[in-house]
Amino acid sequence: MNDANDESLISHLEALRETLLRCLISLCVVMPFTLYFSPRCLNWLIKIIAGSGQVAFNFFSPMEVFIIQIKTAIVLAVIVCFPYMAKEIWDFILPALYENEKRFIRTVVLSSTSLFILGAAFCLFVIMPMVVRFGLSFSSGNINPMFGISNMINLTFIMALAFGLMFQAPLITVSLVRAGVISYESLSNMRPYIVVIILILAGIFTPPDIVSQLMLGIPTYLLFEAGLFIARLNNKKVKNE
């Protein structure tokens, strides 16, 4: 029996290795194309971040822009390959799931992906131009703004990732209540603690300034309230049924 279990474990690990290897190969295949388009994508990002502000982004070393282009190409490659990688991972875990588990995971993955894209887009098109305008507001006759391109693009990637993760709040709220881990009433009464947790997470995910933390914390709390509202509607629907 132990030998059969060991063989089964080894076969599963081998299948996982092949799945991860195919995902890595897909990234390597796509990377040359994303490297070609990364300068255009970088210019597009800069135009969005700058918004209507008359601001120029500067670089301070010969290789700085090239390194940023490589980072942009990697992000583009992950975005382009994500459907294929998601399918490969889904095909790996599919045989071990029951039909109701497949439906549940399919719904969760689709909802989570949509919320992540929404959060990243909100950060890119709304928050980052606000950050630039806020920085420009401190300029005066003796103080001239000078934005480093590396700092701004890295900040954009970090903030987009943070917003994508924090925008999972309604999904987490609804899932916890629906699974019976915590009741709607208990979660509703925990609002003060939730606010503190959200602010702590916003402080971890954003640069150490109160403006960025509030820009991330306030939308996240509103999304938590939206998830709580959806959970309340689900509770009423279950009770009526």
**Please, which pLDDT band fits residue 97 given cuts at 50, 70 and 90?**
low
Which of the two residues, 38 and 131, has the higher pLDDT score?
38
Is pTM beyond 0.85? Reply is no
Indicate the domain borders of the chain: 35-72+99-240
Q: Tell me: the pLDDT tens digits for 175-198?
A: 877 777 777 788 888 888 888 888
**Please, which pLDDT band fits residue 96 given cuts at 50, 70 and 90?**
low
Give the list of residues 6+ apart from residue 52 with CB closer than 8 angstroms, or none.
129
Q: Tell me: the pLDDT tens digits for 68-91?
A: 989 889 988 988 888 888 888 877
pLDDT at 5 over 60: no
pLDDT at 8: 66
Mean pLDDT of 149-171: 86
